[in-house]
A and B are shown apart, each in its own frame.
Chain A
Amino acid sequence: MLVMKAWLEIRWRLLFTLIFVAGPMYFAGRSSAEETTRMLDVVSLTWLFCAVYLAGSGIRTQSPFRTTKGLHGSTLFTLSLPVTRLRLLAVRAGFGLLAVVAIIAFSSAAAWILFPLVRAGSTPADFLRWLLTTACCAAGFHAMSVLVSTVLDEMWQIYASFAAIFGLKWLTSKFPPPPSLDVFRVMTTGSPLLTHAVPWPAVSVCLCLAGILFLLAARVVETNEY
């Protein structure tokens, strides 16, 4: 039933993010490699924004349409249910991540089908590798937003997480990490569509980071007072 709550909190956001992701693809030119690369660059960034926007702690009630300021009164009702805080967090975070993966799968499939240049030179296996890579990278950002949502109001959670994405992108452009560890690069110019291999170092780092951030969020939720 916590899944039902998560779905009701997330469903309109899911629709909104789908439109948000579909926009760059709809307006992108399809004739040149540069336009396709630019489209992939923008779309991969929108995936990260989706990962942040669809995150939640499961304890603070979220409104489907607007961000909630302060603690909604129903938070106390949630806490009075006979479930652990860890379960509340895990179900909401897990469902949010599932929604992110669904959006990535849907939009990357759309890009694969609609843009001949994305398909050119890559196989369906490369497409699946690309999907795996982007989903793992998005999981890291999603977990970051989940952690932030345990301590900040929703509006600040989104601002702080967006700022972290921009900050990290700026940082990686100023001080480039090894290409195999650059999460922005492995989703676009260094993606498995071009390299034909999963960038395991970046994927591993993102998954480890997601795990650590989730454990931190669980710790915060256990000790928080409402």
Chain B
Amino acid sequence: MNDFAIEARGLRKSFKGHSALNGLDLRVPTGSIFGFLGRNGAGKTSTIKILMGALKSDGGEVSVFGEPISVASNMVGIRRRIGFVTEDKELYPYMTVEQVIRFTRPFFPKWRDDLAKRYLSRFELPPGRKIPDLSKGMRSKLMLLLAISHRAELLILDEPTDGLDPLAVEDVLREIVSLAAAEGTTVFFSSHQLTEVERIADRIAIIDRGRAIVSGSLDDLKARYQRLHVVFQEVLRAPVQWVQGAEHVRQEGRSISILASGNLQALAEQARSLPGASVEVFPVTLKEIFLDHVREGN
């Protein structure tokens, strides 16, 4: 078994001169739940489309399950092992739920009817209903059912909870976590919902302008990043040259907020040494890490 379900090195893709991916490096360990974050247009969907073979990269190397996707003959075998939920959750408008399931089943030798039936009932999907008559939440659940029922080794989910009501979000997240835990399925998902990512992901990558700007285990990142909040009695007249570890510094009036990535002790001591400064240290959320990095990049 490969250590990495997905490995991308120096991935590049341009559309009419606009660079969507600009040397993206990505490593998704097998068995992990990997959150893929970025603003709109950061390159998330382009990456996913390249992984699925819908787009061709302009440069770089990508392998899935250790097999390079640039070799066309690998793609059929690779896709047989992947479950995919598309961004807009669209399926064939002329099929019913039951027909879509019947259509998809023969493509996957490991398909399990019992799983499909179980999820059909758990997700409360009406088998006879046409796809256009389903809500977006129902379509998301149906796509998840199709992805899960063939016992995919890798789930690629493009914003799986987008447009879902809180109850449906809860259902979908629970299924993702239980699949990863029970079957060892690798889950690679993009999302804008940072609280959801923080709840279920064990690893993340934040991409901006087609490059990974933060990547790693979520626990490591949260241990590494801390926020220092420094309040002064008066507004600082001269800018401070902070020691190494201050990732992003934001000053508002008498207070300075520092996102620190390591060297916290030295930073806190430097802050305390400034005249009239009171210093507090806070743990940071994924949202803060994301916002600070993406804002800085822009």
Contacts from A to B (Cβ < 8 Å)? 1, 4-5, 8-9, 61, 63-64, 72-74, 76-77, 79-84, 222, 225-226
Contacts and interface: CB of A to CB of B under 8 A. Distances in A.
Q: Which of A4, A61, A80, A226 has the most CB of B within 10 A?
A: A80
16 contacts: A1-B104, A63-B93, A64-B94, A72-B90, A73-B89, A74-B90, A74-B91, A76-B49, A76-B87, A77-B91, A80-B54, A80-B82, A81-B79, A82-B80, A222-B72, A226-B55
Instruction: Give the interface centre of A1, A64, A74 by most chain B CB atoms within 10 Å.
Output: A74
B103 A5 contact: yes
Interface string B24-61: 00000000000000000000000001001111100000
Interface string B86-99: 11111111110001
A168 B150 CA distance: 49
Range of interface residues on chain B?
Answer: 20 to 34
Nearest to B90: A73
A204 B108 CA distance: 40
A84 B54 CA distance: 12
A64 B105 CA distance: 23
Given A5-B92, A79-B52, 18 more contacts: A1-B106, A1-B107, A8-B99, A61-B93, A74-B91, A76-B49, A76-B54, A76-B90, A77-B90, A77-B92, A79-B54, A81-B107, A82-B77, A82-B108, A84-B75, A84-B76, A225-B54, A226-B54
Contacts of A83: 76, 107
A82 B52 CA distance: 10
Given A63-B94, A77-B84, A82-B80, A4 B52 contact: no
Nearest to A79: B54
A80 B76 contact: no
A225 B56 contact: yes
A78 B94 CA distance: 14
Contacts of A79: 52-54
Closest 6 CB pairs of A and B: A73-B90, A82-B80, A73-B88, A82-B79, A80-B84, A74-B90
A72 to B, nearest CB: 6
B52 A76 contact: yes
A4 B103 contact: yes
Nearest to B15: A225
Nearest to A10: B94
Contacts of B87: 73, 76
B51 to A, nearest CB: 10
B242 to A, nearest CB: 45
Contacts of B92: 5, 8, 61, 74, 77
A138 to B, nearest CB: 25
Contacts of A80: 52, 54, 79, 82, 84, 86
